[in-house]
Amino acid sequence: CSLHHIFYIVGCGLQIFTSSRAIANGLLAIAYLTVSVLSHRTSLPAPMFSRNDVSIWSILKKCIGMELSKIAMPVILNEPLSFLQRLTEYMEHTYLIHQANTTTDSMERMKCVAAFAVSAVASQWERTGKPFNPLLGETYELIREDLGFRWMSEQVSHHPPVSAFHAEGLQEDFLFHGSIYPKLKFWGKSVEAEPKGIISLELPKYNEAYTWTNPTCCVHNIIVGQLWIEQYGNVEVINHKTGERCSLIFKPCGLFGKELHKVEGYILDKSKKKLCAIYGKWTECLYTVDADTFDAHKKSDKKNSEEKKSEYLIRPEEMPLPDGDTVQVIPGSELIWRIAPRPDNSAEFYAFSTFAMQLNELEEGMKGVLPPTDCRLRPDIRHMEKGDIDSASAEKKRVEEKQRLSRKNRSKSTEEWKTRWFHQGTNPHNKAQDWLYSNSYWDRNYSLLPDIY
Ligand SMILES: *[C@@H]1O[C@H](CO)[C@@H](O)[C@H](O)[C@H]1NC(C)=O
Ligand SMILES: *[C@@H]1O[C@H](CO)[C@@H](O)[C@H](O)[C@H]1NC(C)=O
Ligand SMILES: *[C@@H]1O[C@H](CO)[C@@H](O)[C@H](O)[C@H]1NC(C)=O
């Protein structure tokens, strides 16, 4: 954490004073002094409001089946983070990528990468607040020396809303990038987010690239009852060099609640032969085990559960009870990932993890270093974080109106919106349309940035 601060302060210093080493050194000394009194925060400035007394239904009943980005949602349903910041939570378990880099066996690397892909969505657990829609041109950066990465992202399209991101290992052991279009659908009792877009991970040491897409996320009971989150769908992690793949199913909870949060699948070689099985829950942990052992276990488990199925019957709109708190571990399994516990104060603060708690922190050393488009400078999110819902709501309206106006201005002229840090192109690994990083963000040339707040 201390290095993190230095990076900001020194990064700024070096840019201004590159010609004067003495001053830069002086700055470094000051940076150290500053660092000793700073540390990452462990809570937000104000606890969240209760959502119980808001009549959401009166707002939403007209909107069934509509795409959610077209509905003006009350701020009280939000969490004080932009979607760009929420995306950054993919990086919480970056150690799994470092682990993949140091492993010489490609199947072992795939285990780490698959665990990273699952861990990347684990922060969604109990996170029922909606992140703020990023404004066109909004950016977010995060440098975590302690976790060994730096990240930057930009909102590159408004309709449809597309967020592009690019992260790199500080030791140059990986590149992680992608573009996400969270297609949200409102279904009356639930909101479903289908994260369209591709995610790529590159390990230069092995000249390998992996790609995958995230599962669908669904928030249940948004009108009445207990809110809960489900993720379902297939996730296939492909190693484009070896042809190996990890085929995972995020299971829908089902009528019996028995499959709640379960993830399972296999790592296959390029001739589709099963190399090993992976199983667990995205909310908890993941194990690997020999494929035959796994199949034998499933067979006997299925027989047992048919005998006692009726015990699990629940009404589908209730929060289903998981079958036991933990994953049933098959003998011979190896743990590959376990979720870090949420901090004790998490429930007061939008179910944030410790990592999430720090995302919108505006540290002293960042002021004047961050571009003016950074999420941390967004007034509506800042107000919400401080617990001032009325100002948050007013500012949200204002910045969205400003966005509409400048869009209208552009449509009247020949001027077109230009993304600043990404350009559209073809993903070199799977040939799909993607947004590619233009490689210059960390030079910190802010000369062409729009005024969006
Ligand atoms: C990546 O792995 C290689 C080979 O094991 C190792 O030499 C290198 O130090 C690793 N890089 C990092 C940042 O761990
Ligand atoms: C739109 O154009 C008008 C007139 O040129 C200008 O005054 C205004 O600041 C512009 N608004 C935005 C948001 O760009
Ligand atoms: C910053 O970017 C602008 C526009 O691309 C360019 O004209 C200018 O020379 C750059 N400034 C520096 C210091 O590189």
20 Cβ below 6 A of ligand 1: no
Task: Give me ligand 1 centre to Cα 109, in Å.
Answer: 13
Cβ 98 under 6 angstroms from ligand 1: yes
CA distances from 151 to 63, 204, 212, 347, 412 (A): 36, 17, 19, 27, 35
Say how far apart CA 407 and CA 57 lie, in whole Å: 31
- Between the alpha carbon of residue 411 and those of residues 70, 111, 404, 415, 417, the distances in Å are 20, 49, 11, 8, 10
pLDDT (average), residues 309-325 = 51
- Number of helices (H), then strands (E), belonging to the chain: the values are 10, 18
In a domain, 143, yes or no: yes
Q: In one letter, which amino acid is 295? A: D
- For residue 405, the CA-to-ligand 2 centroid distance in Å is 7
Q: Give the domain CATH number at 320.
A: 2.40.160.120
If one counts the domains in the chain, the total is: 1
Q: How far is the CA of 411 from the centre of ligand 2 (A)?
A: 12
Residue given tokens 């667990």 in the structure block: 280
d(CA 8, CA 363): 9
pLDDT of residue 448: 84
Say if ligand 1 is within 6 A of residue 208 CB: no
Please tell me what DSSP assigns to residue 69: G
Which of 405, 408, 417 to probe ligand 2 with, by most ligand atoms within 8 A of CB?
405
Taking the CA atoms of residue 143, residue 207, residue 98 and residue 180 in that order, the dihedral angle to the nearest 10 degrees is 50
Task: Please say whether the dihedral angle defined by the alpha carbons of residues 86, 189, 161 and 426, taken in this order, is positive or negative.
Answer: positive
Does a structural domain hold residue 137?
yes
Q: Which domain holds residue 294?
A: 40-412+419-439
Q: What is the pLDDT of residue 52?
A: 61
Query: How far is the centre of ligand 1, averaged over its atoms, from the C-alpha of 404 (Å)?
Result: 47
Q: What is the pLDDT confidence band of residue 159, given thresholds at 50, 70 and 90? A: confident
Mean pLDDT of the chain: 83
pLDDT band at 83 (very low <50, low <70, confident <90, very high): very high
Write out pLDDT tens, residues 99-146.
999 999 999 999 999 999 999 888 888 887 889 999 999 999 999 999
5 located within any domain = no
Mean pLDDT of 179-187: 84
**Can you list the positions of beta strands (E) in 26-174?**
78-82, 130-132, 139-144, 149-157, 162-169
DSSP state of 273: -
What pTM value is reported for the model? 0.84
Measured from the Cα of 104, ligand 1's closest atom is 5
Ligand 1 center to 430 CA (angstroms) = 26
- Does 6 reside within a domain? no
Q: Is 20 part of any domain? A: no
| Residue of 167, 165, 251, 152 lying closest to 202 (CA atoms) | 167
- pLDDT tens for each residue of 391-435: 999 999 999 999 999 999 999 988 889 999 999 999 989 888 999
Indicate if the pLDDT at residue 374 is higher than 90: yes
Ligand closest to Cα of 95 equals: 1
Does an H or E element contain 316, and which?
none
Q: 378: which residues sit within 8 A by CB, 6+ positions away?
A: 82, 132, 135, 138, 399, 453
Atom of ligand 3 nearest to the CA of 443: 14
